[in-house]
Amino acid sequence: MTNTIQILSIEKTGKESSLQKEHNNKSIKIIDGYFFSRNLDDQKFTKISKLISNDVSQTILTKKNVNKVLSSYCNFNWVVEIKFLPGVTDNIATTVKEIIKDNLKSSFKSFELGSTKIILIKGRKEDITKISKNEANPLIQTIKIYPFKKYLNNFKKNQFKIEKVKLPKKKYSKKEVNLDISDYHLSLIGKLGIEENDKSRRGTLGLDLESLKTIRNYFSTIKRKPTDVEIETLAQTWSEHCKHKIFSAKIDDIQEGIFKKYIKGATEKIIQLRKDNFCVSLFTDNAGGIEFNKDWIICHKVETHNTPSALDPFGGAITGIVGVNRDCLGFGKGAKPIANTYAYYLANPSKKYQLYRQKNKDPMLPANFIAKGIISGVRVGGNCSGIPTPQGNVYFDDRFAGKPLVFCGTVGIIPKKIKGKLSHKKKANPGDIILMAGGRVGKDGIHGATFSSEELDPNSPVSAVQIGDPITQKKMSDVIIRELRDENLYSSITDNGAGGLSSSIGEMAKESGGFIVNLEKVPLKYNGLYPWEIWVSESQERMTLAVPPANVKKVIKRFNARGVEATIIGKFIKKEKAIVKYNKTEILNLNMEFLHEGYPKLNLKTSFPKIKKEKKKIIKNSSLIDKLHKLLSSPNIVSKEFIATQYDHEVQATSIIKPLQGEGRVFGNATAIKPLFDDEKSIALSQAAYPQYAETNPYDMAGCSIDTAYKNLIVSGANSKKIAILDNFCWCSSDEPDRLYQLKEAAKACYDYAVAYQTPFISGKDSMFNDFKGFDKTGKSVKISIPPTLLISSIGVVDKISHLTKMTPDDGDILLVLGNTRNELQDSVYFKIIGYEKSKNPVVNSKDALRTYRNFEKANKLGIINSAIGIDLGGIGIAVIKMAIASKKGLTIDLKLKNKISVDQFLFSETQSRILVSMKKNKLANFKKIFKGSDYTIIGKCTGSDVIEFKDNKKIIRGKISDFAKSYKQNIKGL
Amino acid sequence: MNVLVLSGYGINCENETLHAFEVVGFKGKIVHINDLIQNAKQLNNYQVFAIPGGFSYGDDTGSGNAMAKKILTNLYDQLIDFSLKDKLIIGICNGCQILINLGLVPSLNKKDPEVAMIENKSGSYECRWVDVKVNNNKSPWLKNISILNLPVAHQEGQFMIPINLLKSIKANNLIGLQYINNHKKLAKGQFPFNPNGSKDDIAALTNQNGNILAMMPHPERAFYHYHVPNWQNNTSKKFGDGYKIFMNAKKFFA
C-alpha cells in the first residue's frame, strides 16, 4: 500500500544540469512525485506507475528500493518538496488523472491527485533554501524543506500529503450590502472589498468613492439595498480595465476624451480619406480586423499582463498569451490564431533591486526570476497551443523593477463569409442559450480586472493569479474553429477574460438586450465557491457562446466528443435587464444601461511636467571599435536569439521571414508569415516602443514608435496601403496631472502620425497604473513608476513573395542610407552607455519620412533594392554591423561627412525614418531617378571580406566581423 | 492513396502535414483520435497513418507518453495490424515521441518501449534548422535521399537507447537520420548541429521493415522553397527538402 508514485530519471536531465551549474553543486537530483488522496494496492501501483513513466529512462521509487536507488547517486541530506497550493491549476495532475481513468476505466474509484516536484541535494540547508527560492513561487506553491531522513521516513509511512481545497461548508444566503454609511466606510468597501460576516474583507473592488455613491443613488431610487453580487459585478464592469475610464474621460478641453478624439478619431479620419474596404472591424470586437485578400480577414490584438506577471511571472505570462489567443477566437464568429507576438519591458536581470511590498517583508521577486518566468510562460503557452511566435522584442530599464510590462499579441484569420453570412458580424439573439465551454471555474483570478486597475501595493490579492492550461484551450479552440463555426451553429461568441462571466455575458447581452443566468449550473473545480466568486472568477480557457436552442444538443455533443466540457448556464433575453439567480434566488437584477454606462465620468486636468534631462559626459579615450562593441553587447541591442529559438516560430508551416535572419542569424525587427497555402500574400509583423524617449518629449516618443513600427513593415516589403497599427499604452500614476499631460501629448502624436501615414488604429488597450509602492531593503518607502510606454504593433499585407526583403548584401553591392541623419543622440543607447553632452531627441518629420518610404516601396517592387534594414537603436553604426554579421560579408564605410556632423553623431544618432539599403552598382541610375529630391547618402560598399572598415580622411579603422558577432551574441547577464 | 492524419489533445501540425501529403498526390483526412477509437475500422480505408507534431497532453508525464497510453489502451491492436500490412506509418516530432513510447519503433524485442525520448541536453526548447543525413536507405520513406535540411522544434528530442539495443539497432540498420555538421560530417553530439545531444546523432529511427519512420525533424515545415531560411538567395527551386519524404510515400504506392 502506498499513496505516492515517485519517478526519477536515470540519466542527468537538462534541468538537473542547469540547476547543478547554477548552484555549483553536482549533487542535485529531481524527482517527479504524484501524491494520491487514497492508497494504491500493489497491483494498482504497478499498473499506474507503468502508465506514467518510461522504464528505459526512469526508475520508479518504492518503499523497498528508495534507499538503495538514491544512495547510488550520493548521500543526499536535504529535500525540498514543491507542490501547488490548493486550487491552483495543476495541469500535470489533470493529465495523469485522464490517463488513469482511460486505462483503468471504472475499476478505480474517484481520487484526488497532486503533482509534486521533489529536489534532493547534498549540501547545506542554506543551499536548499536558495534552490527553493529559485524554483518555486510561494504565491502559488507550498515549499517544504526537510532532512533526507524524514523523506525516507515519509516514504515508509505513507506520509506524503496532497493539498486539497478546504473551503468552509457554507450555505449561501443572499447577502445585502448596506451603503448608507459614512464616506470613510464607503471608501473602505472600494479599497478593501465587501465586509464578510466575520469582519474580514473580500479584497479590493477598485471602486472610488464617487462610483460607490453613484451605486448608492441608483439603489435608493429603486428602493432596495444592493446585493454583494451586484456590487461585485458593477466593480468588474466599471473597472479601468474594462471601461477605460481615463481614455474616455473629459480631459482639459477635450470633451470627448482622448480615445474618441485621437485614436478612434484618427481611424475615422483615415477611413473617410481612404474610401476602400481595408478596415473591416474596429474597436468594437475582441480584436481589430482588416482585409487580407478577397476571401479572408485577419485580426490582431495585443494585451498586457503586467501585474499578474509581477506576482507570478510564469503564470502571468502564460495566461497573457493564451488569453490573447482567446481574443482571436472571440473575434467575429471565431478567428483561428496564426501568430503570437511578444514584447517585454523588464528590469536588468543581473541587478538585485531588493524591493518589498511591506516594510521588511513580502519581497518582490528577483528581477532575473521575473524575466525567466515571463520568457518561459509565453514559451509554454505559445508552443503548446501550436501557434507560431515569430515576432517580439525585449527591452531593459531599471524603472521596470517595480512592475514588468508583458505585452502578448495574437494574429488571427477568418473567412470573410461563413455559409453566406459575414463572419465578423455576430449577434446574440433573444432566446439564445448561454453556453460556457472549456475549463471549470475555481477561485483563480478573483478580482483580476479590478486589481489590474490599481497600483501594486500590500493589498494586492494573491488569488488574482491564474495559470493557463493551453491544452484545454487547444481542444476547445479546435472544436470551435474546425467544426462549430463553419456550420454556423452559434450566433455569437466571446472569451472569458478579465471579469469572467460577469464581463463576457454582460458584453454579449448588449446584442440581444439582456440575460438571465443560473449560477448553480456553472461547473466548478471544487465546491464551496460563493455565487459572487463564480460570477467574477477569471478561471481560464473558457468561451461563452450564444447558441440557438435548436442547435444546443448538437453543440454540446461536439464539445464532449473532443474531451471538452460545455454547459448551459442561462439565456439571452430581449428585455434590457441583467438577471442572475442562484438556486432560484435572484441575486442580481440591474438595468443594462446602468450596468454599462452608469459609472461616473471622470474629469481630468493635466499640467506641464518638469523635464528631468539626464546629463552625461563624454567618456574619453574610447576608440570607435570599442564603442561599437560596448553598444553591441548592451542588453537592449544584443541578440535575442535565445528567445527566438525557444519559441516555435515554424509551426503551421507559415514562417517566411524568420526572427533570425541571414546566415549569421541576426535578430530581425520584422517577421512575416504566409498564412494560406494557395495565396502568395504574406503578413508582416513588427512593433516598437521608446520608453527611453518618453520623459524628454512624450509627443516625439509616440511619433518615433509609430514611425518605427510602420517603417519596419515598409522595409520588409509590405504594401503601404495595407498597414494597420495597434496602440498599447502602459502608463504610470495616471491620476497625476503631469503624467496625464504626457498621455495627452502621446495620444495627440498618435493622431497626427497615423493620419499622416494613413495607417488606421484597429485595436488597442491601456494599463494606466504601472507603479510600485513599497519599501527598499532599509525599510524606506519607495515608489517606482515605469517610464510611460506606448507599444505600437504593426500588421501589414505583403502582396508578393518577391517583395519580401532580406538584410544580407552581396559582394560588390553599394550601401546607402535613405533619409537624413541629424544630431539626435538625446536618450539614445549611445547616450546611455557612452555619454554625450549637447544633443536633441529624435523627432519624426512625417513628410520626409513618407517620401523615403514611398520611394523605397517603388524601388523594392522594381527589384532595385538587394537588401535592407531599418535603422533604429544604436543608429547607422549598429545597422551596418548587423548587416555584416547577418551576411558574413565585410563592408567598407566612408566617413567623409557632410552637414558638420561628427563621426559619433553620424554613426550613433537615432534619427528616425532611415533605412540602410544595398544594391547592385548597375541599379544606381534607376535608383537615383526614383529618389530624385529625396535624402540619401552613399556610405560605402560590400567587400565580401571578413572585416568592417570605417574610412576617415586620415585613417582606416577595422574590426573583424567575427569579433563583432561575438559581442552581439553575448549572453545577457542573469538570464 | 489515402492518408489518415491524426489529431486531438494538443496535436497541432495536422493541417500542414495533410497539405504536404495532398500536394504530392494523396487524398487525406484529419481524424480526431476519439473518432478513430469510436470507429477503428476506418483504418482499412487508408494506406498511410501519420501522427503529426504537437504537444499532446502538454508533454505531461513525458512527451508522447500520455497519447501513447491512450492509443495503447484503445487502438493498439488495430495499429499493429496496420503496420504489418504493406502500409506506411510516420510520426513526426511529437508523433515520433508517441511511436517510440508505443514501442512500434525500433520494435526489435518486445512490446514495451525499448527507447526513451528525453530532454535536450541544453535543457531548453530548440527551434532551429539542422542538416541530417540518411543512414537507412531501405526504408521506403528515405529511399534515394542523402541529405536533408529541416527544422526541429522540441524540448525532448534526445533518443536514449541502452547500449546493447543500440548495437542491434545498428546491426539491423534502423537509424533513419543522423545530424551532421556544416562539413557534412556526423555532428558527434556538437551543438547546435546536433540540437539535443542525441546519442550517435540520431534524428530518426525505423522499424525493421522500414515502413514505420519516427523522425524528430519536421519535413512538412520544409516543404516549399520559401520555408527554407534565407530562401531569397536561391529562388530557383519550388520545394524544400521535406518534400522528398512525402514524395517517397507516393512512390511507394505508385
Grid coordinates representing B240 are 524544400
Q: With the C-alpha atoms ordered A601, A453, A588, A320, is the resulting torsion angle positive or negative?
A: positive
d(CA B24, CA B250): 7
With an 8 Å Cβ cutoff, are A14 and B120 in contact? yes
pLDDT at A462 over 50: no
Residue A47 Cα distances to A97, A110, B55, angstroms: 13, 16, 24
- For the stretch A502-516, pLDDT in tens is 889 988 998 999 999
Which of these, A304, A305, A307, A319, lies nearest to A468 by C-alpha position? A319
Alpha helices in chain B (DSSP H): 14-24, 33-38, 65-74, 76-84, 94-102, 163-171, 242-253
d(CA B254, CA B251): 5
In a domain, A799, yes or no: no
Hey, where are the domains in chain B? 2-253
Q: If you measure CA to CA, which chain B residue comes closest to A560?
A: B34
Architecture of the domain delimited by B2-253? 3-Layer(aba) Sandwich (3.40)
With an 8 Å Cβ cutoff, are B116 and A56 in contact? yes
pLDDT at A533 over 80: yes
d(CA A306, CA A405): 5
Which of these, A565, A540, A570, A569, lies nearest to A555 by C-alpha position? A565
Which pLDDT score, from 0 to 100, does residue A461 have? 43
In a domain, A949, yes or no: yes
Beta-bridged to residue A938, according to DSSP, are A816
Q: For the CA atoms of chain A, what is the radius of gyration?
A: 29
Kindly indicate the confidence band of residue A639, based on its pLDDT and cuts at 50, 70 and 90: very high
Kindly indicate the confidence band of residue A460, based on its pLDDT and cuts at 50, 70 and 90: very low
Grid coordinates representing A251 are 480631459
- Higher-pLDDT residue of A440, A639: A639
Residues of B in contact with A801 (CB under 8 A): 226
Region B46-56: mean pLDDT is: 97
Catalytic residue among B93, B119, B154, B156: B93
Mapped onto helix, strand or coil, the DSSP state of residue A213 is: helix
Strand arrangement, sheet containing A915-919: A867-870, A915-919, A814-818, A936-942, A891-894, A947-951, A956-960
Region A274-291: mean pLDDT is: 89
Which is it for strands A682-688 and A781-785: parallel, antiparallel or unpaired? unpaired
Kindly indicate the confidence band of residue A343, based on its pLDDT and cuts at 50, 70 and 90: very high
In 3-state terms chain B splits into helix, strand, coil percentages (rounded to 5) of 35, 25, 40
CB-closest option in A99, A561, A650 to B151: A650
CB-closest option in B19, B118, B120 to A57: B118
pLDDT at A678 over 80: yes
In 3-state terms chain A splits into helix, strand, coil percentages (rounded to 5) of 35, 25, 40
d(CA B89, CA B17): 13
Backbone φ, ψ for residue A724 (5° rounding) = -125, 160
In a domain, A111, yes or no: yes
Residue to test with chain A: of B112, B218, B232, B235, most A Cβ within 10 A: B232
- For the stretch A121-156, pLDDT in tens is 999 999 999 999 888 877 778 899 999 999 999 988
Which pLDDT score, from 0 to 100, does residue A527 have? 77
d(CA B254, CA B252): 6
* Contact between residue B165 and residue B114 where contact means Cβ atoms under 8 Å apart: yes
Residue A861 Cα distances to A673, A719, A795, angstroms: 19, 10, 19
| B93 in active site | yes
Q: How many domains does chain A have?
A: 2
* Contact between residue A498 and residue A347 where contact means Cβ atoms under 8 Å apart: no
Which pLDDT score, from 0 to 100, does residue B165 have? 93
d(CA A728, CA A791): 5
pLDDT at A626 over 90: yes
Which pLDDT score, from 0 to 100, does residue B166 have? 95
- For the stretch A542-556, pLDDT in tens is 999 999 999 999 999
**Given the C-alpha cell 517610464, which residue does it identify?**
A787
**What residues make up the domain containing A34?**
2-156
Residues of A in contact with B61 (CB under 8 A): 52-53, 92, 95-96, 99
Which pLDDT score, from 0 to 100, does residue A852 have? 97
Region A630-652: mean pLDDT is: 97
Which is it for strands A514-518 and A577-582: parallel, antiparallel or unpaired? parallel
- For the stretch B69-93, pLDDT in tens is 999 999 999 999 999 999 999 999 9
Which is it for strands A356-358 and A336-346: parallel, antiparallel or unpaired? unpaired
| B13 in active site | no
Backbone φ, ψ for residue B67 (5° rounding) = -65, -40
Residue to test with chain B: of A478, A641, A642, A655, most B Cβ within 10 A: A478
With an 8 Å Cβ cutoff, are A645 and B7 in contact? no
Q: If you measure CA to CA, which chain B residue comes closest to A387?
A: B12
Where residue A33 sits, what CATH number does that domain have? 3.30.1280.10
In a domain, A362, yes or no: no
* Contact between residue A653 and residue B223 where contact means Cβ atoms under 8 Å apart: yes
Identify which of A205-219, A784-798, A886-900 has the greatest average pLDDT. A784-798
E strands, A203-313, where? 250-251, 279-281, 288-291, 296-304
Residues of A in contact with B34 (CB under 8 A): 561-563
Choice among A575-589, B104-118, B170-184 with the minimum mean pLDDT: B104-118
pLDDT at A112 over 50: yes
CB-closest option in A9, A91, A805 to B60: A91
Q: In Å, how far from its chain's centre is CA B25?
A: 20
* Contact between residue A8 and residue A92 where contact means Cβ atoms under 8 Å apart: no
Q: In Å, how far from its chain's centre is CA A808?
A: 31
| Mean of per-residue pLDDT scores for chain A | 91
Region A193-209: mean pLDDT is: 85
Which of these, B178, B172, B40, B197, lies nearest to B107 by C-alpha position? B172
Choice among A567-576, A695-704, A857-866, B232-241 with the minimum mean pLDDT: B232-241
Alpha helices in A609-697 (DSSP H): 624-632, 641-644, 691-694
**Given the C-alpha cell 494606466, which residue does it identify?**
A768
| Mean of per-residue pLDDT scores for chain B | 95
With an 8 Å Cβ cutoff, are B62 and A53 in contact? yes
Catalytic residue among B14, B114, B126, B220: B220
DSSP A62-84: -TTTHHHHHHTT----EEEEEEE
Q: pLDDT exceeding 90 applies to what percent of chain B?
A: 92
The neighbour count for residue A291, using CB atoms within 10 Å, is 18
Residues of B in contact with A647 (CB under 8 A): 125, 127
CB-closest option in A14, A54, A562 to B122: A14
* Boundary residue ending a domain (A129, A156, A183): A156
Residues of A in contact with B227 (CB under 8 A): 650, 653, 655-656
The neighbour count for residue B223, using CB atoms within 10 Å, is 27
With an 8 Å Cβ cutoff, are A808 and B220 in contact? no
pTM: 0.94
In a domain, A745, yes or no: no
Residue A836 Cα distances to A690, A828, A877, A897, angstroms: 19, 10, 16, 19
Q: Is the ipTM of this complex over 0.95?
A: yes
* Contact between residue B59 and residue B120 where contact means Cβ atoms under 8 Å apart: no
Residue A178: exposed, middle, or buried by beta-carbon count in 10 A (0-12, 13-18, 19+)? exposed
Mapped onto helix, strand or coil, the DSSP state of residue A677 is: coil
Q: If you measure CA to CA, which chain A residue comes closest to B120?
A: A14
Residues of B in contact with A474 (CB under 8 A): 10, 12, 55
Q: State the virtual CA torsion across A143, A148, A152, A158 in degrees, nearest 10.
A: -20
d(CA A589, CA A516): 9
Q: For every residue of A393-447, which 3-state class applies, written as one string? A: EEEECHHHCCCCEEEEEEEEEEECEECCEECCCCCCCCCCEEEEEECCECCCCCC
Backbone φ, ψ for residue A390 (5° rounding) = -85, -30
- Higher-pLDDT residue of A679, A157: A679
Choice among A157-161, A609-613, B147-151 with the minimum mean pLDDT: A609-613
**Alpha-carbon distance B85 to nearest alpha carbon in chain A (angstroms):** 27
**Given the C-alpha cell 473602505, which residue does it identify?**
A188
* Contact between residue B222 and residue B240 where contact means Cβ atoms under 8 Å apart: yes
| B22 in active site | no
* Contact between residue A338 and residue A388 where contact means Cβ atoms under 8 Å apart: yes
With an 8 Å Cβ cutoff, are B127 and A645 in contact? yes
Which pLDDT score, from 0 to 100, does residue A537 have? 87
Which of these, B229, B227, B230, B165, lies nearest to B199 by C-alpha position? B165
The neighbour count for residue B233, using CB atoms within 10 Å, is 13
In a domain, A929, yes or no: yes
Which pLDDT score, from 0 to 100, does residue A107 have? 67
Grid coordinates representing B239 are 520545394
Q: For the CA atoms of chain B, what is the radius of gyration?
A: 17
In a domain, A689, yes or no: no
Which pLDDT score, from 0 to 100, does residue A453 have? 53
Where residue A971 sits, what CATH number does that domain have? 3.90.650.10
